[in-house]
Chain A
Amino acid sequence: MSYEIIGISVLWIFLYGYLIVASIDFGAGFFAFYAKITKQDHVVNQLIARYLSPVWEVTNVFFVFFFVGIVGFFPESAYYYGSALLVPGSIAIILLAIRGSFYAFENYGSKQSTVYTFLYGATGLLIPASLSVALTMSEGGFITEENGVVSLQYLKLFTSPLSWSIVALAIVSVLFISATFLSFYAARAQDEPALKLVRHFALFWSTPSIIAALTTFIFLSQHNPGHYENMLDLWWMLGLSVGFFMIASWLLYMGKYYGIAFVSIMLQYFFAFFGYGIGHYPYILDPLISIHEGATHESMGIALIIAFIGGLLLLVPSLILLMKLFLFNADYVKGKK
């Protein structure tokens, strides 16, 4: 396997990791806000804060990791994506900045403010929307290059059904993933009232998430038939994805085995995300950057892979420790520590 394939695979895994952890985080922010305005905050907000407080910074790193990795492995992408994404990218940064710092101001500072909670919740939905522009862009047809000036065709982007269906998919997925995780977390904490509420959220968002996935798939077939054909060849991955969705929904409906339900959702998105990603091969930006031509020099590629391995040897045990101390520590989850 060539180094650029290893590179894009690892990066795709990290992006998938970000998709899961960030969805939990973004969705939790929205639910915390929703609970507050519907006067149910006493039910779930303790639970949400207990999970989020030790990990919010880690979530952020997954994202930084991905974008530093992609420009490292594929410097061409810095040129095209960097030039075209100045506006949506900057907006995403500003939203992330407001979200991250306000979280700290609210939780570590002694100020309880509805405005902060609102911004925290609202940005949780706007960030996935602004980030999904990059995904839409990668399908090609939204960028022009004239006299060395790369620009994004905003009108085309805003009138494209594909871009809106990706935005919708991103938002409902965030809410679905997050609610399922919170159900699992509440069940562990044996917090019945919170569980009742978040399970309700999870059930509610399951149907829109699968509908959004289907519409995105249909619009993709119109916008980029090549990508669509490639994905059809990976029909078994998409099938597995739908299968795990059904398992998760059934478990949520039955109201038991929340841990397995969450794992099923992780697998559902895993197969969908990788089916999508593999179908995109060999392009990073259709048709301007391909994985093989846009890659960095071999010596740097190999150095980066060695850094990956070294970094993961350090990070994986640390992450396991973090999860042991907070996520899987029954006393902590219940709020006793």
Chain B
Amino acid sequence: MELDTVLISRLLTAMTLGFHIIFATLGVGVPLMISAAEFIGIKRKDPHYRLLARRWTRGFIISVAVGVVTGTAIGLQLSLVWPNFMQMAGNVISLPLFMEVFAFFFEAIFLGIYLYTWDRFKNEYIHWLFSLPIIIGGGFSAVFITIVNAFMNTPDGFEVENGAFAAVNPIGAMLNPATPTKVFHVLSTAYLTCAAILAAITAFLILKKKATDYYKKALKLTLALTFVFGVLTVITGDTSAKFLAAHQPEKLAAAEWHFETEEGADLILFGWLNDAHETIGEIRIPKFLSFLAHGDFNAEVTGLEETPEEMWPPLWVHYMFDLMVTIGFVLPAIALLYFILKKMKNRQEHNKGMLSLIALSGPLALAAIEFGWIYAEEGRQPWIIRGYMTVEEAATSSPYIGLMFILFLALYILLGTLFVITLRKIFRDNPAEEELEKHYPSVKKGDES
């Protein structure tokens, strides 16, 4: 492969988005966790939960900062790196893009208020109420930006005249076939990931220090949320697969290495592909792909052969798909195991093995976000707007794109490193135990068993 401007444009965008979605996911999901903790804390008059909300917020604001600046970067890069795409698609998708900015605006305002009004109101619920617009704003920005992406997968809401979009119906474009499944899957996975990450941090701290009441409560809350959103993610994942079978069969077929259209198609897990497009060393679940795609073990599933070979997505997306799905099942399973152990008589839920598993679930969840996103994006190749514009036609022709790639790479390395350093410093210099005494002197040391 030659290092041409198109490839560098793709790499630059992939790098920016790959970096941004880590923080974007945190931005969508963490406010819900914070709000839940603060609510329980106020309701039960339990300082542990309220401290939890405070400490999560403090870490959250650092990730928001990186999320905002990388989000600005991708927003501008859409026009800078893909000028032809924005010129064409801007006519149809500027409404959701615009509404995304409004949602972000709304969130930004209330985040400022929430951060600086702790202890400012007599009625504690007032401060808690300010967390709701943050959840709503964050959720809706995810919804609107996912709608833009959904449009690129299944364009709708316009007619084509002389190669340009005409007779545009903005609402029709927003409510394209991919919108519902994509939106719900993005939201459920964002909440799942944040719950899993916070659970993982807690488990890691218990492993390093000891299981005080504060950490135990944090673990129980985050794992309960992991389980709920994990189950929801499995459901939204299933509806996404059924959507693909109906509207984007080549994407599902590429993920499953399903070449020939057939009834009762098998589900292929992992394995390798040889030159003759035969799978080796795979785990084969008979007829399960038909079930996954249509809810019927004998249904016909469209194979890749129906798509001309030059329009195939890369076949390595299979691994991305499998890894994402596997992690999607593992995360709620880990949470369930914890609650089973907790219910058992000898109460072994805080043993080393269990805690290590939980500590692993955070990185796994983030990895699944990346895998799923890479699958969704690469699975649409070679199109940027499926059926209308290829990635090659959309990219910038500027010779400076390679230089920009290096500059942005350096920027993200710098931001990533400082992000980790800053977070570690915040929490290391200020342990929960000390802070608990400072903010809530009524809590006796004896509580910290």
Contact with A along B420-449 (1 / 0, CB 8 A): 001101100110000000000000000000
Alpha-carbon separation in the docked complex, A85 to B86 (Å)? 14
The answer to whether A211 has its CB under 8 Å from any CB of chain B is no
Evaluate whether A300 and B113 lie within 8 angstroms (CB atoms) in the complex, with A64-B75, A82-B86 already known. no
Of residues 72 to 92 in A, which have CB atoms within 8 Å of B's CB atoms?
72-73, 75-76, 78-83, 85-87, 89-92
How many Å lie between the Cα of A164 and that of B411 in the bound state? 27
Q: How far is the CA of A75 from the CA of B64 in the complex (A)?
A: 29
Q: Please state if A93 and B72 are interface contacts (CB–CB under 8 Å).
A: yes
- Does A160 lie at the interface of the complex (its beta carbon under 8 Å from any beta carbon of B)? no
Whether A318 pairs with B102 at a CB distance below 8 angstroms is no
The answer, yes or no, to whether B288 is at the interface (CB within 8 Å) is no
- Is residue A135 within 8 Å, beta carbon to beta carbon, of the partner chain? no
Alpha-carbon distance A245/B31, docked complex (angstroms): 44
Interface residues of B in 75-118 (CB under 8 A from A): 75-84, 86-92, 94-95, 97-102, 104-106, 108-113, 115-117
Contact of A105 among B77, B81, B422 (CB under 8 A): B422
- B228 CB contacts on chain A under 8 angstroms: none
B171 lies within 8 A of chain A by Cβ: yes
In this complex, the member of B62, B168, B170, B430 whose beta carbon has the largest number of chain A beta carbons within 10 angstroms is B170
8 Å CB contact of B97 from A57, A68, A105: A68
Question: Which bucket holds chain A's interface residue count?
Answer: 35 or more
On chain A, the residues within 8 Å of B261 by CB distance are none
- The answer to whether the Cβ of B53 comes within 8 Å of any Cβ in the partner chain is no
Give A96 to B66 CA distance when docked, in angstroms: 11
A37 interface hit (Cβ, 8 Å) = no
Interface string of B42-83 (1 = CB under 8 A from A): 000000000000000010011011101111110111111111
| Contact status A53-B116, CB under 8 Å | yes
Q: What's the dominant secondary structure at chain B's contact region? A: helix
**Docked-complex contact B396 and A79, CB < 8 angstroms:** no
Q: Is A68 a contact partner of B422 (Cβ separation < 8 A)?
A: no
- Name the contact of A300 in the complex, choosing from B62, B81, B94, B419 (C-beta under 8 A): B94
Q: Is B415 an interface residue (CB 8 A)?
A: yes
Complex contacts, B418 vs chain A, CB 8 Å:
101-102, 105
Q: A89-B80, A90-B407, A307-B98 are in contact. Are A322 and B106 (CB under 8 A)?
A: no
Chain A residues with CB under 8 Å of B122's CB are none
Report the minimum CB–CB distance from A127 to chain B (whole Å): 12
B residues contacting the other copy or chain, number (CB 8 A): 78
Residues of A close to B89: CB separation below 8 A: 75
> What is the 8 Å Cβ interface bit string for chain B, positions 395-410, against chain A (1 contact, 0 not)?
0111011011001100
Chain B residues with CB below 8 A from A45, complex form: none
Residue B120 CB within 8 A of the other chain? yes
- Cα distance A314–B418 when bound, in Å? 35
Give the complex CA separation of A63 and B68 in angstroms. 12
A151–B401 Cα distance when bound, in Å, is: 13
A72–B98 CB distance below 8 A: yes
Contact assessment for A97 and B70 in the assembled complex, using a CB-CB cutoff below 8 Å: yes
Query: A110 and B94: CB pair below 8 A?
Result: no
Q: How far is the CA of A103 from the CA of B422 in the complex (A)?
A: 12
Residues of the A chain whose Cβ atoms lie less than 8 Å from the Cβ of B84: 79
Nearest-neighbour CB distance to chain A for B17, whole angstroms, equals: 14
> Which residues of chain A from 285 to 326 have any CB-CB distance to chain B below 8 Å in the complex?
296-297, 299-300, 303-304, 307, 310-311, 314-315, 318-319, 321-322, 325-326
Q: Which of B98, B105, B116 contacts A69 (CB 8 A)?
A: B98
Answer whether A300 and B426 are a contact pair too, CB < 8 Å, given A75-B88, A86-B404, A326-B116: no
Measured CA separation A81–B111 after assembly (Å):
33
Given the interface pairs A86-B404, A110-B429, the reply to whether A54 lies near B69 with Cβ below 8 Å is: no
Given contacts A57-B68, A148-B397, A78 and B62 within 8 Å (CB-CB): no
What are the residues of chain A within 8 A of B403 when measuring CB–CB? 87
State whether the Cβ of A260 lies closer than 8 Å to any Cβ in chain B. Answer: no
A64 touches B72 (CB 8 A): yes
Q: Interface of B with A (CB < 8 Å)? A: 58, 61-62, 64-66, 68-73, 75-84, 86-92, 94-95, 97-102, 104-106, 108-113, 115-117, 120, 133, 165-171, 396-398, 400-401, 403-404, 407-408, 411, 414-415, 418-419, 422-423, 425-426, 429-430
A-B contact pairs, 15 of them (CB 8 A): A60-B68, A64-B71, A68-B75, A81-B79, A86-B80, A86-B81, A100-B69, A101-B415, A102-B418, A104-B422, A297-B91, A297-B165, A299-B168, A299-B170, A307-B99
